[in-house]
Amino acid sequence: MAQVLGLSRTTVSAAYGRLRDDGFLTGGQGAAARTSLPAGPGPRHAPGVDETKPGLIDLTAAVLPADPNVHAAYVRALERLPANLPGHGYETAGLEELRETVAAGYRRRGLPTSPGQILITHGAHNGLVHLLRLTVRPGDPVVIDHPTYPQAIDAILAAGGRATPVALPDDASEDGWDVEGLVSACRRSGAPMAYLVLDHNNPTGRMMRAPDRSRLLAGLKGSETLLVLDETLVDLTLSGPPALSASAVDAPRVVRLGSMSKSVWGGLRIGWIRADRAVIQRLAQSRASFDLGVPILEQLAAVELLNDGGAALAARRPLLRARRDHLRAQLAHRLPDWTCPRPAGGLSLWVRLPAPISSALTVRAEAEGLRLAAGPRFGVDGAFERRLRLPYTLPEPVLDQAVDRLAKAAKALGRRPKPTTATRGRLLPVY
């Protein structure tokens, strides 16, 4: 078959494997292969369903299944792998080809970047851990926007830092940042680092406007605070001007974290740090005591995926936009006393509840077959009991089931008292 089609044996073998996995081939590998129709549509494992607990819908992860092009990218990466085998395989800063590909993406955004300003990591979270190890000492404050990504809070605490929250304005507009509060917190505390998610903040989905970014950088000019911007969701604008245009504001003490986990596939585990060359060199030296770099095959696959001209993301945005609007409509119908702002982008809704019941609701929902991430998981000191993050990454039929179970849990909970400390802030892994 490979000779007839003029393809490699790896590609043909992968094609046969894909046909078997999807149910279109049976037999083979020593027996005659026969064509067949799959038993049913859709993937073998339904997305959002915990296979260890049949029927349980998991909404703790705001992530998408793998982009359809991931498998093909790995096939092409395997074909290119032999060219890298004569080397030792330890690329502390990452493959030059991938670093240039990532740098080119920043240049397209209006941020002049060279490969020497890029360090490849095991996802954005791994990049944050490296920065914390390099910058923060036990007891140091780290300024964060509040709410924020839960695993970032965990990483700050694990590094011995003190998460210093600056609340996002909580008003009817569900927009904006307290820029003056962020600048004041950094300068007053002498924080060596501020970790902010300005591009479709996880969990709120809001985005800081370009004028506010300029005011933030002007306010921090001359300070010792390293401003770490998590841009994991920067590509996922669903309404209004793209975040990429606003995020083209830069300064020497700004470090950017990027990742393919949210836009392509979490299982790829490829991320990067963009920073000043001196910072990248220090990170490359210090990481050796923590990890020795990222697997070559994954980096080659990442190059293939990043060089698709944005086609994969262009196909995913309409799907996410439709699911976002569908989930909001279902919540408005089944739970009309809940407030569901429409985020400009990202992967989740940050829902306002009619009472401080988030933790108790999370416990009750699991009894109904629905796993949730309670609001306090996204903050410190027990905040956000009136909030709940609901991802819209699952197919509409699964979201309908989730809302049905959520409504049943809310009805069963009724007007119970505030949850006890035993149920508040359960440390679930949240993505």
Q: Compute the mean pLDDT over every residue in the chain, rounded to the nearest whole number.
A: 90
Segment holding 24, helix H or strand E: none
Compute the distance between CA of residue 195 and CA of residue 147 in angstroms, rounded to an integer: 12
Task: Determine contact, residues 75/10, Cβ cutoff 8 Å.
Answer: yes
* % of the chain surpassing 70 pLDDT: 90
Q: Which of 12-26, 66-80, 268-282, 344-358 has the lowest mean pLDDT?
A: 12-26
Query: pLDDT: is 232 or 10 the higher one?
Result: 232
Residue 34 pLDDT level (bands cut at 50, 70, 90) = confident
| pLDDT the model gives residue 428 | 63
Q: What is the pLDDT of residue 223?
A: 94
Confidence of residue 32 (pLDDT cuts 50, 70, 90): low
179 pLDDT higher than 50: yes
* Rounded average pLDDT over 287-297: 92
Distant-in-sequence, close-in-space partners of 182: CB < 8 Å, separation ≥ 6: 143, 145, 166, 194, 196, 216, 219
Residue 175 pLDDT level (bands cut at 50, 70, 90): confident
φ and ψ at residue 105, rounded to 5 degrees: -60, -40
Report percent pLDDT > 90 for the chain.
75
Helix residue spans in 42-142 (DSSP H): 70-80, 96-108, 123-135
User: What is the pLDDT at residue 386?
Assistant: 97
Inform me whether the pLDDT recorded for 325 exceeds 80. Answer: yes
Beta-carbon count within 10 A of 109 CB: 16
- C-alpha 392/C-alpha 402 separation (Å) is 11
What pLDDT is stored for residue 39 in this prediction?
Answer: 57
pLDDT reading at 316 higher than 70: yes
Distance, CA of 179 to CA of 96 (rounded, Å)? 37
